[in-house]
Amino acid sequence: MKKFKRIVRILPLDQRRFKVIYIFSLLIIFGLFGRLVKLQVFSSSDLQKKARLIQSSRTTSFKKRRSIVDRNNRLIAYDKTLYKLWAHPKYFNFPGDSNKRVRSIEEVVKKLSPIVDIKEEILMEKFNNNKNGIKLLDKISEEKAEKIKNLKISGLDLFKYSQRYYPQGEIYSNLIGFVNDDNKGSAGLELHLENIINVINKSNLIKRGGDGTPLPDNSAPGDFIPDYKNIGLTIDSKLQKASFNALTKQVKKWKAKKGFAIVMDVNNGQILSLVTVPSYDPNKFWQYDAELFKGWYSQDLFEPGSTFKPINLALALEEKVIQKDGVVEDIGKINVGGWTLSNWDKKGNGYIDYPKVLQVSSNVGMVKIMQNLDPTIYWDWLKNLGINKNLETDLFESTAGQLKRKDLFVNQSIEPAVTSFGKGFSISPLKLIQLHAALANGGFEVTPHVTSTFKERFNKNPKKQFFSHEVSRTVLEWMESVVDKGSGSGVKIEGYRIAGKTGTSQKALNGSYTSKKVCSFVAILPVNDPKYAVLVVVDEPSKSYAYGSTVAVPVAKEIIESLIVIEKIPPKIKDHGMIVKKP
């Protein structure tokens, strides 16, 4: 059977249809071209930004402050990670629920209550029928935050933050200070070293592939590791606590306005303890008067009184206006420029040598000694010692001492006379211990400091020498006689050579001296190998018989006893005029 081929008749293309297809194709082509121009020309920058966001992500270190530790790595201040819990009731949804289902506040509270250890009724009150976002809880620990996360409840959001804690409380507060509610330093080292304590947040860009896989880039190995180096202090927490307890007890006993005690290494200026009373709890700083936040040991000034007498004797020896074996007559009072100056007890001591001048704290003896020194040279010495200059230190910004104008000092004989026994000018307690440190270490200036990196940042200049080694040694031995035979005998400790000087200074108000006192005592030990200076200042003790010997010396003794144990200072004994180690 034959197969017949089917013949299809080709009809001419409909011109109208052809035009429609042609025009439609052109429109598509022009549309695509226009889209291409828009993407490549007009929207290119926006698209590049979107691409970068998809292909890369920026990481930022968690904002924190560096921990502060003592020289033995004991924590003084640190940041604790906490969480805030926000609730959004209109989005409450449990794992496995459909997207449209919204759980009730009661259902969420029932799961949340045992984790946060708060009764359901109390949690319900916090919502107060509020369907919008509310801050439900604060200060949630990491452990509880992890349990809340594991609930996987939509509508519960945890916000991570850090809060400053001070585990040693009030014994460090006047030194360390505190941070406010915005985590910014507001007092003490927290404020003064804000730029160093704050962690530098590094922000890094991670490039990713289409599937989100991180791609190799030029980041350095440590770029994504947060910088959490500690701030190390030279303070010893055991000595700090012992000093604080001793000072607190004495300030309460004498009903004093405030007190200060410091222990410093005389060779390098490192501070081993620094305490003030009254103090405050930096964890609850808002409960205290702002006056307590002040670092008065470097910002307040006082007339040092008799504790400055050893410095003056060093000046007289340096200028060779007195000899080591000289004597001075003390009849109990002296007239200078129409003013009558007298000893603290109004009594004379006859002819006395210079160690005895310190032992009995003779004002008249000091006036006569310093009258041998030209007032112009005397004033230049005081300026050279930095009496009227700020201390460059890592503590609170210091207040410069007050020194009379040179023309007044030179032309009015009463000025150098009262300066001879520590009156007529004022310095900070921190400046006073700096000067005594120079007496102890052979005459060299050191700067009091508490951070272990202080030398690298501040102490770039060579040491300035105030006194010769011979003069320093002579004055130190004279000060030792004050402890052996004079007003500082209360600090004597068997087997240890200690030098010291007491001070009792009246406070001036509106140009006149009042009955209010500042009692002080400075000690240096051991005399055979000077290493430590201890200064105690008690302001306005309100009981009778308040003197440096009765108020400040007992505090210094307790501190020195603790210092000997903590620093393992070996005892020495005198044997036939020679210094030997005690077996």
SS3 475: helix
Which amino acid, residue 540? Answer: E
Best CA proximity match to 346, nearest among 360, 327, 356, 326? 360
Angle at which helix 553-566 crosses helix 237-253, to 10 degrees, equals 160
Annotated active-site residue 67? The verdict is: no
What residues contact residue 456 under an 8 Å CB cut-off, 6+ apart? none
What residues contact residue 5 under an 8 Å CB cut-off, 6+ apart? none
Angle value at C-alpha 10, between 6 and 16, nearest 5 degrees: 150
Burial code (b: 16+ CB inside 10 Å, e: under 16) for 127-142 equals beeeeeeeebbeebee
CB 502 within 8 A of CB 482: yes
Count of other CB atoms within 10 angstroms of residue 344: 16
CA distance 230 to 395: 17
- Tell me whether strands 350-353 and 68-69 are parallel, antiparallel or unpaired: unpaired
Count of other CB atoms within 10 angstroms of residue 237: 21
Q: Out of 243, 279, 298, 306, pick the active-site residue.
A: 306
CA distance 406 to 266: 30
Best CA proximity match to 379, nearest among 348, 411, 353? 411
Q: Which residues are catalytic?
A: 306
